[in-house]
Every structure is written in C-alpha cells, then in structure tokens.
Structure 1
C-alpha cells in the first residue's frame, strides 16, 4: 500500500477565488504565485489561471524565468525587482516587469545593456517600512525612471502593513497617504486582505495572494465569509488504532494523558511532511468524516488523534488535516502561525494530486 499522505489540488477553486477578487474591480488583477505558488506549485497555478489572470507576480527573477521557461506568456511582475545588472538584462530579454524599490537598482540598471524596454513599478513605503522609497523621495525616483529611455514607468505601488487586522485605522491611513498624492501613473495597492475589504478606490491593479488559495488573512473575516474555497486538501489515513486506559499518556514527553478510557488513531503525517510540530492538543483533525482532536506531540512521520467518539474509524479510514472539512486558518492559529507558512512548508514528500 502506498503511503496515504497526499495533497489534493482543486484548480477550479483557484479560478473561483480569482474571480472573487475580480468582483471587486473592473481593472486588472495580478495573481501572486511566488514561493512555488504558496506551496501549490507555481507553474501549475499559472497554467490553471492562464485563461483568466491579467498577469502574475513572483518574488524574484529566477521565479519569473521559470514561468517563461514553462511557456507562460502573460505579464509577470517581480516584486523584489532585479538584484543586479544581469537580472535587468534578463528582464529585458524575457519581457519581465520589475519593481524598483531602492536607488541602487537604478545604478544596476545603468550598468546593464538592455535589449528591449523594461516596464517598472515604483514601490513607495507608505508605512510598512520594509521595501520602498520614502514618499518624499518618490518624485526624484520617478524623474530618473522617466528620463531613462530604456524604462517605462507602469505603476506606483505600496504594501499594507495592517490590512489584515480588525482595527483598520492604520490601513486607512496608508490608503490616504497614497491616494492623496498626485501620481503621474496609476496605483497598485491591494493585497488579499485589502481586496477582501473592498479594495482602494481608483487603483488600477490588485495583487491578491493568499486568498487565491482559499485562506483569509483577515482577523475579522473568515474564508467562508469571504466566499473563498480551499484549493488544497491535505489528506492521509489511519495506520494504527489502539485503546488506552484513563491516565495513560500518548506521545513524546507524555504531554497528554487520557481523561477516560480512549481509542487512539495514528495518522501517517508529521512535521517531516510539513504538518506543524507546534500544533497543540485539541487541533482539529477530521477522521472518517467526523471532527476529532489531535492529542500529544506531533512526530516526524505521525500524529495521534482521539477517535473515541468515532467507533467506525479503523485502519485505512480517511483523515483530513486541512481543506474542505478542516479550516487551515484555525489549524494555523492554534499552531501559532499563519496559513501562508503551512502551505509553503509542505514538503516534497507529500505527492500533489491535480483535480479539475
């Protein structure tokens, strides 16, 4: 029997979630598929959206080149821009759009020999203070870009620091800082949380990421409330079932003691597959269609689940760790992380099975 752990990828749900983003705007939506499509497979995501997405956004030129090598012809934006002159030349050759977030990148461009014009997006730091030029320095950067015959200034962009939080006061302040300014080109501002909140009036390109995969980054709006559907369902099966007496402990460190005579199921998945080691007792796991709880510590290759109230569960019974029946955002919250990390940490040991 093949190890039952696998990730089912339902591409119709990716398209559904992209369309939910499109409902917010009559303008463009670039699908963010960096970090191997948030663990879903970057090229597979691009192919699934090839007939719908206005463009794609990735983190680095290497990712953009991989898409071009796979035959993806739609616009591709590199969110971190070029690292050196060679990458400027690669972007020119392969018609890749670049973010400019620091003056050093324009120095690198001056050392590059471009074979064609490069479209650039100027990134402005409106409060995140990670990447981006300061608002007061933006006019000079814009002038330098527009005076370069090898560059085309396509958009001005920024990134929100708190659009996922229930308190939207700083999110509103960042929007104001960007929309009150008279820019010579159109804006691109909204990430997933901002899209879910309705976007920003007047912007011309939205950049949803995590919502495309069926997860909501918002503290106060669930994926279900936002009308999103999970693309990935992480499955496995029971490989052992046994009884323990009240007071018996389970797993490393004896951290869980049975409060009653209990029935324990062992599931073939662990942190070696990317399931979070810090998931605590009580994390939801669906066994044979019924909600159960993780008990004890997560091991490298296995977890243990209390199946006392699922008498029909037996060796081979299906288990869902997250997806259609178990909310990945809840699993992430209990493990002290976010769904982004759970998706991205899923290891190559877990086969990806493409559906629809």
Structure 2
C-alpha cells in the first residue's frame, strides 16, 4: 500500500442547509478570511457567510455551497476524470482552463503591477524557501547526485540549488504580480468558473500561479496526489482521479548517480488541460509573465520550487522519486523548452474498475 506523505488537517463537509463548512486551525482560517476579502470583486468565488470558533479552538468557515445551489456542477478534477474516461467530454476541460486563464488576465488588468517578490503571499514560496524551512529540512543534507535522462545530464547538489533559488526569488526581485487565488489546482477550480480555497489568496506572483497550475496538471493531479495525498481528493473531488504514474523505460541508480528515462502518461481530459494551458502560456498568459523567447524561462525557478516544495521527493517510492528528479533535471537545463517539459503520452482509458487500481510502486533503494 502506498504511504501518505502528508496532508493538511481539516474537516470538510457539505451541509443540508446549503452551506459548505470547513473546520481548520485558527491560523489557517484567519489567512483564508483575509484571502477571501482580498479577491472579492476581482475573482468569482463562493460567498463566505461567517465563521464559528469551536470549543477546541478550531475555526469553522461557513461558505455558500456552490454545488448545492446549482451555481457550479463540477471541479476541474472531476471534468478531467470524466474526459479521461470519455474523450468526447474533453472540450469542457479546455473551456474551463481557458476561462480560468481569462480570469487571471482580468484580475491582472485591474490589480496587476511589477512589485517585489517579498510583497506577495508567502505561504507557498517564501515560507518553504526560508533558511531552516521545509526545503532545508527535506533536502539540506542530501548528497550530490548526477541525473542522466535521455541525452541530458544534470549535476544536482541540493544545498547549492536552494541557494540559487533564494537568489533568483529574493524578496527585492521585481516580478509581475496581481491579486489571484494563490493556489490554482484541480480541486480549487469549479465549473462554471468559481475559485475555491482562499488560504493563499491575495497579491501573488503570476509566474508562480502559472507554474503551480502547470505542475499540478502534469504531475500532481493524475499521479502524485492520488498516491501520496489521497485525502485531498477524498474530501473534495466527486470523481477522484486514479493514479496514472509515468511509464519508465529505464531506471538504474547507484551511489551519487541516477539514470532514468520515461514518459508522463495522460488520458484525454488531462491532455486537453495541459494543451490548453501551454497554448495560453505561448500567448497572452505568457506575455503577462514576461515569458520572453519561451515560457519556461520565466517559469523555471517557480517550477523548481513546486517540484521540490509540495511533497518530499526523497521520501517517495523509487520509481516516483527517480522520475521527479528527471523532471527537475529537465527544468534546470537551459536548453529545455516548455513544450519539451510538458510533453506527455496518452494513457489507457480509465473507465473500468481494474484500470482505476493504482500500480504498486517498488521501494526506493
């Protein structure tokens, strides 16, 4: 059985009175109330009706249930799973990705400006990157590693890589910023468009938003979340996605070196989402983040932070750990283009019960 690496504490429930109630620690609740207030008038979101302080000190946020009142019919994750099983439903996925990108562009039109990274919401980036924070805890003692994937060879020394990230994403660095939801992922985007979960909402780096969504579509939603954070889907998604891990064609590891080759697999729904987002990154969304010759240039440090900072890849099963490192090596290589990084292969249809059983990963050596 695949181990769950971590999950966010919380109690989430739909009530018969037409509300969605979310009980979380006080600090998280306060951050979400502030985030909801920040995006009001800029992004379509569910109404926050009130907050209750529970006897144990937790806070219960009371939201309008956008599914109970018919405002929304599905999450992006649901649409992707349905289209994976029935490719005829893929246009609904494309439409929601385009609408979400339009929403970000509109918010940027009204609230966007160049600003120092240090003025953006810190939870997903600065807090994880700070000295002694999550990334130091997970990778600070990791030895040097040479990763060979295809024709690419990358020497990865995590302490040096973290130092480089801190320089690239230093608080004084000017970036394109706007008021956004802050954590654009498949369970946080509902259709018709409604942004859910505002813990990280407020002024955010637009390149960080794009990198967050891209990494979720490529790796988190259809592979890593079902394997390592299943509660994320069990408590929010109506049609949870089965894990569809990459297909590895070569994997050898030794002391200080790793050889790995393979391909990310997707069904029709996930492929449609990735295609739609990369198309927008090559056009108006890319222009918004000052993408230059290729969007991956602007996304690179943010993607590295996403790959390293959501789940501790060194704690994963061997095949997953190896392929995450292969993707990290690709991002770090200056020759890699966005279309190279986002290349995926079609996976099997996901309609049968047997297909929905996740493969059991081998243990990391």
TM-score surpassing 0.5? no
Larger radius of gyration: 1
Query: Relative contact order: is structure 1 or structure 2 higher (C-alpha 8 Å, sep ≥ 6)?
Result: 2
Task: Give the structure-2-normalised TM-score.
Answer: 0.22
TM-score, length of structure 1 as denominator length: 0.23
